[in-house]
Amino acid sequence: MRQVHIGRRLARPLARTSLLVRYGVISGLLVLCLALALGYVLASTVYDRALAQSEQTAANIAQLAVGPLLQRDDFDQGAVAPERRERLTGAMETLVAHRTVVRVKIFDRTGTVLFADDPDLIGQRFPEDPHLQAALGGQRSSDLDEPDSAENASEASLGGRLLEVYVPIRKSTAAGADRDVVGAFEIYLPYEPVASSAEADARRLVLWLAGGLVVLWAVLFQLVAAASRRLREYAREQAERAQHDALTGLPNRVLLADRANQALLVSRRSGTSTALLIADLDRLKEVNDTLGHHFGDLLISAVGARLRGELREADTVARLGGDKFAVLLPEVIGVDAALEVADRLVAAMRTPFDIDDVSLETGATLGLASYPEHGRDVVRLLQCADVAMYAAKSDRRAVRVYDRSMDAFTPDRLALFGELRRAIENDELSVHYQPQVDINSGQVTGVEGLVRWQHTVHGLLPPDDFIPLAEHTGLIRPLTWSVLRMAARACQRWRAAGLDLTVAVNLSVRSLLDEDLVAQLDHLLADAGLPASALELEITETTVMADPERSLAVLADLRGLGVRLSIDDYGTGQASLAYLNRLPVDTLKIDRSFVIAMLGSSNDAAIVRSTIELSRSLGLGVVAEGVETEQTWQRLRELGCDAAQGNWLAGPAPADSVPDLVRRLERRLGGAPARA
């Protein structure tokens, strides 16, 4: 356990270093271990090679210098003939004198010494030696003889280590048969020259090996270091891209959230405020459609730079996508101070931008939320600022400060949002239809589709209970298309049954400005087998004035498609008469609040009368909503109103009930049946 703890203590400093340093240390240790292992193997190989060379030297001596001087009879008789012994002695003295060998012995097959450079050894028989037995068996063998293990005192007196080599001696028989092992030749070679040569060779190889491995490690380290630098640069670039907008280089939503969290921490400690602004550009689509997306991108970049130039160094401008920006103002002194900044940004946006010698005008609508008044976390502040921005667009104001009255994100509303989304996805909504009646003929000419939600807890919910939620949360687009599909299918069934009716559907600002609206409507009508004139789209003045230029373009495309258009709730919006004259619409619908009160209020009666007269002068049809009494119906007939709808006539009814409802209503009013 103590060794484990020590290892951990040694590993901690390494763990705190960079990956490159750790790689250098670990790879260096591995290279060192490899060098030691290879050095050991090479040294062993060198020593083995030196011994093999020494054995070969001994074999050469036995074969060339000794073998020719001996006869087979010398071994068979157990003694070397005197004349051959003399020649052997001379040859051995020469070898010993040149320090080629130190000692020589020749054994017969019984292990008896037949000849030796030391005459006292002749005739002796040594204890059984495995190396000698190997040589007598025909195998060359060697052994390192240490001074303290010498076979006798005379060999010990030779000094130093000796390499003892045994070589078999082979002689043919007189009949010329195969060469048999008749004895063994033992030669003592001085080991120190062999060892010195081997050590020198081993040292040289190890040095070359070590140098090569060091060079290899250095090259690999440089390669890894270069790759590591590139990876770090790539990681920094990726981190930069992950936190910045690719077009403007501004922080994106991720980095904005991080900086906002830091700002909120500082505000909590210091007691200051942090403000968050959401800015939505005006007229960017016109720039893209007219000059191309390249100019639109250049304009977005210029807007980001201008916003950045109007703020403090500590403030953050982020692009959230499309034409939407966010501005973070840490440590501001309340909402009023943040409003001053917002007004300054709005003024800056009104100054034209010079883009490639083209002067482009734009503007911005801002929503403002502040910590701690409106929210205590980043998500809530972003929601509140976004809600305030859309409220500013609806009111045609440049800046709005968040207020709870415009909030659709209470806990109950959030729960309702999830339920509404599931209801849309699962086709749980229904559409009820209220007849629109021609006042002069009493004939039902069309119906208005009014969406209903049969909630499992709250019962049948009217549009006012969930349409604002859908508009604030982005569900209005799928909700609108769900209503359009149901209305088109219902209208197709009625026409197949002989009822020549049009169906009207309300269109929100988000749906009106949907780039795919016209194409999808064309596809929808084709699938239902309906002419475009069977569909009427109702838009409010507020919807049109949210983005007048874009609205005009879309309405013109819808008119070109053949769809009927009407202005709903006329009199409650802000459209001027001059602008109204430019709208390609077919009908004005008088808001029900004026119609309901017209019999008791001269002002409301004047509004209804003037609207009818205005419609006539513009060549438009006029429909009065909110007809709750027969007196109101008669008064509208006197004023020359074209059509009416209201509960006195008939309330909204499901699609399957419409044919019977229409027939009953027309019989009651004495109108001609609405037939195809």
Q: Which of 46-55, 263-272, 594-603 has the lowest mean pLDDT?
A: 46-55
Q: Would the pLDDT of 482 be above 80?
A: yes
253-406 carries CATH number 3.30.70.270: yes
Residue 375, helix vs strand vs coil: coil
Architecture in CATH of 69-194: 2-Layer Sandwich (3.30)
**Tens of pLDDT along 634-653?**
999 999 999 999 999 999 99
Domain limits, CATH 3.20.20.450, in the chain: 411-667
644: three-class secondary structure by DSSP: strand
Q: What's the pLDDT band for 158 if we cut at 50, 70, 90? A: low
The mean pLDDT of 321-345, rounded to a whole number, is 89
pLDDT band at 123 (very low <50, low <70, confident <90, very high): confident
According to the model, what pLDDT value does residue 12 have? 55
Residues of CATH 3.30.450.20 domain(s) within the chain?
69-194
pLDDT tens track for 334-354: 888 889 999 999 999 888 888
Q: If one looks up domain 411-667 in CATH, what number appears?
A: 3.20.20.450
pLDDT in tens, 191-209: 777 667 767 777 777 777 7
Q: What is the pLDDT of residue 413?
A: 61
Given a contact cutoff of 8 angstroms between Cβ atoms, the answer to whether 635 and 602 are in contact is: no
Which range, 141-150, 406-415, 489-498, 538-547, has the best average confidence (pLDDT)?
489-498
Average pLDDT of the residues in 103-107: 84
Main-chain phi, psi angles of 650, to 5 degrees: -175, 140
What token pair was written down for 599?
């019999």
Highest mean pLDDT among 37-51, 148-162, 367-381 belongs to 367-381
Class of residue 83 by CB neighbours under 10 A (exposed 0-12, middle 13-18, buried 19+): exposed
pLDDT higher for 45 or 132?
132
The residue with greater pLDDT, 459 or 588, is 588
| Residue 578 · residue 572 · CB < 8 Å | no
Q: Which of 157-161, 392-396, 429-433, 458-462 has the highest mean pLDDT?
A: 429-433
Of the candidate ranges 120-134, 190-204, 610-624, the one whose mean pLDDT is the lowest: 190-204
The contacts of residue 244 (CB under 8 Å, 6+ apart) are 250, 251, 252, 255
| pLDDT per residue as tens digits for the range 565-596 | 998 877 665 555 556 677 888 999 998 889 99
Other Cβ atoms closer than 10 A to 195? 16
Count, residues in the chain: 676
Decide: residue 13, CB within 10 A, 0-12 exposed, 13-18 middle, 19+ buried: exposed
CB-hemisphere CA count at 13 Å for 540? 15
Mean pLDDT of 385-409: 78
Residue 650, classed as helix, strand or coil, is coil
Which residues have CB under 8 Å from 520's CB, separation 6+?
481, 514
List Cβ neighbours of 583 (8 Å cut-off, separation of 6 or more): 544, 552, 555, 565, 567, 575
What is the residue type of 16? R
| Residue pair 155/143 in contact by the 8 Å Cβ criterion | no
pLDDT at 676: 43
CB neighbour burial string for 400-425, b if at least 16 within 10 angstroms, e if fewer: bbbeeebbbbeeebeebbebbbebbe
